[in-house]
Amino acid sequence: MSTALATDRSVSTHKHPPARPQKQRRTSVLGTAALMLGALYCLTPVAWVVIAATKSRDDLFDTLTFMPGTSLFENIHDLTTYRGGMFWEWTANTAFYAGAGAFLSAVLSGLTGYTLAKYRFRGRNVIFNILLAGVLVPAVTLAIPQYLLMAKVGLTDSYWSVLLPSIVSPYGMYLARIYAAAAIPDSLIEAARTDGASDVRIFSMIALPIMRPGLVTVFLFQFVAIWNNFLLAFVMLSDDHKFPLTVGLYTLLRQGNTTPALYTLVITGSLLSILPLAALFLTLQRYWRIDLLSGATKG
Amino acid sequence: MSVDATPAGRSRKRTAPNLVPYVFLAPAVVLFTLVLLVPIGYTAYLSFRKVKVSGLGLGKGSRKEIFAGLDNYQATFTDPELWAGALRVLGYGAILLPAMLLSALLFALLLDAPRTRFARFGRIAIFLPYAVPSVVASLLWGFLYLPAVSPLHYVLERFGVEGPDLLGQGSIVGALANIGVWGGVGFNMIVIYTSLRAIPRELFESARIDGCSEWQIAWRIKIPLVTPALIMTTVFSLIATLQVFTEPTTLAPMTNSLSSTWTPLMKIYRDAFVRNDLYSAAATSIVIAGITLILSFGFLRAVQNRAFGSEDQ
């Protein structure tokens, strides 16, 4: 039960390391070097795309890999005018799928997790175990079955076909249940009941505000998962006006095979598609409570 | 832990079951059924069907869906292309999983070690690829593998050596595994690191006073205590590995080494959408989902279900 409570400490230690007894230890050269090597490995492709996006079509294949060019704004302009602003349509679609999907997913997870944690009723364990099994069902393998069903009801190639499957996150429900069990005191719910508050009111006015930090985490994880998802939209959609960025960039790359001029657009688009998530990461660092994920396993 | 569903004021015997929890769970149950259970059921149904063509197969009524028994499954299990794909995924996973998880563990331990410098920078830099969609990750690495763009080839050419074909038959598995490692190491590192931070610091202090080196502390105290996190990261990585689709699909336009049936999931996609053979695609989906479940459940069982124990047992 110490899960969510222990987290605050582990989060705060990121920023303020506890005072160490011996003032400053010797630096471990080998350890630091290994860590920096890892950082270099992870940053290299990102650095490459930042530089490559500044190169013109001709420079891309002709100049030194890490030599910046001067065509960044030209490339962005080309990308913006490509097929009447198609790239920005993809961006808007992705923002919609990820924003709406993650929001609905967090609300649904919150309600479900709260109910599973705070009510006792017949069938509770059965429902919880089925949800838990859902965590292990390979989500990607589901995309084709989901397509078959959507095709049956004529929903393929619609916004719903991508949005609906994105809302259900068994893992989000699982996390929300753990968070609700740890963070909401039973006495609070009982006190509210005694005061005559309805179940809906207790959930929306008491439970939801308490669960907010946990649900923000669920929202962020789901947001990234939907933003980065490829297969679901790839399978469901054929109208390129409904594509998310991932599928759009993929189709551009495939055409680039025959029209190398498109490579510059693909590279510039890749850079622009990473920026929103990278910004989300750096600004909302304190909400990235992955400790929920690992804390959940401590039993 | 849980509150009785009956309002606290009424403590006499329950007369009717409280409907509130069922109403609250209804949206989740309905959606879960719609996007998980029904598709799985429908796919299972399709996997036992096939189309029978009578006459020339032209005109209405000449194509009829009939019960196929285990025909589709037999075709799936005896399909050499599928087995070849499964074998390639096995090789891919054999490189990806140990490389990714061991380096995630190593970086997490380094972040947690008191003598490592620039830990904050390292943590953010290594976590950054998590923000990059796997389509974009494959695209970036794909360009970095191309001889015309790759810095590796640039350097080698300066020394008069011809660079290796990183997208060739021999190295494509490694090239793909590298994309997987790059995309996954940071996330797994953070999961393990957070779990490390939750260990009481006093434990390390007393070990240090007893003369343990940092490596001994890591090996004897830290790693055993983060085992649940290691189990969880392994299971999720295993599931993701078995379904690999995006990376080879994205790289395929850049190389001839990736066929349209390179992984089992790619073959399902090809069967369903290029060949319009939903029935064998359905059977193959069921087989792959089953194998994935058996492997992940089997792994969890093997490590005594420590990762998913429900918290109020």
Instruction: Spell out which residues of chain A touch residue B185, defining contact as CB-CB under 8 Å.
Output: 38, 42
Which of B191, B205, B312 comes nearest A294 by C-beta? B191
What is the pLDDT at residue A261? 75
Q: Quick one: tokens of A19?
A: 């005072």
DSSP state of A120: E
CB contact under 8 A, B110 and A141: no
> Residue A257, CB half-sphere, CA atoms under 13 Å: how many?
15
Instruction: Spell out which residues of chain A touch residue B253, defining contact as CB-CB under 8 Å.
Output: 253-254, 256-257
CB contact under 8 A, A186 and B250: no
The domains located in chain A, with CATH, are 73-298 (1.10.3720.10)
Instruction: Spell out which residues of chain A touch residue B3, defining contact as CB-CB under 8 Å.
Output: 118-120, 186, 189-190
Q: Three-class SS of residue B4?
A: strand
What is the pLDDT at residue B313? 37
What is the pLDDT at residue A7? 37
CB contact under 8 A, B36 and A46: no
A243 to chain B, any CB pair closer than 8 A? The answer is: no
Q: ipTM of the predicted structure?
A: 0.85
Q: State the nearest Cα–Cα gap between B241 and chain A, in angstroms.
A: 10
Tell me how far CA of residue B152 lies from CA of A66, B99, B135, in angstroms: 11, 21, 22
What is the full per-residue pLDDT of chain A (299 aa) written as tens digits? 333 333 333 444 444 455 444 445 678 899 999 999 999 999 999 999 999 899 887 777 776 677 788 888 888 998 888 888 899 999 999 999 999 999 999 999 999 999 999 999 998 989 988 887 887 776 666 877 888 888 888 999 999 999 999 999 988 998 899 889 988 999 999 999 999 999 999 999 999 999 998 898 899 889 999 999 999 999 999 999 999 999 999 999 888 777 777 888 999 999 999 998 888 877 776 666 655 554 443 33
* Residue of B132, B205, B260 for testing the chain A interface, max A β-carbons within 10 Å: B132
User: Which residues lie across from A119 on neighbouring strands?
Assistant: B3
CB contact under 8 A, A168 and B35: yes
What is the pLDDT at residue B266? 92
Whether the per-residue pLDDT at B197 is higher than 90: the answer is no
A217 to chain B, any CB pair closer than 8 A? The answer is: no
A94-139 per-position pLDDT tens digit: 999 999 999 999 999 999 999 999 999 998 989 988 887 887 776 6
User: Which residues lie across from B67 on neighbouring strands?
Assistant: B49
Mean pLDDT of chain B: 85
Strand (E) or helix (H) holding A119: strand A119-120
pTM of the predicted model as reported, rounded to 2 decimal places: 0.85
What is the pLDDT at residue B60? 63
CB contact under 8 A, B3 and A246: no
Instruction: Spell out which residues of chain B touch residue A3, defining contact as CB-CB under 8 Å.
Output: 311
Q: State the nearest Cα–Cα gap between A165 and chain B, in angstroms.
A: 6
Q: Is residue B103 a contact partner of residue B311, using CB atoms and an 8 Å limit?
A: no
Q: How confident is the model at residue B64 (pLDDT cuts 50, 70, 90)?
A: confident
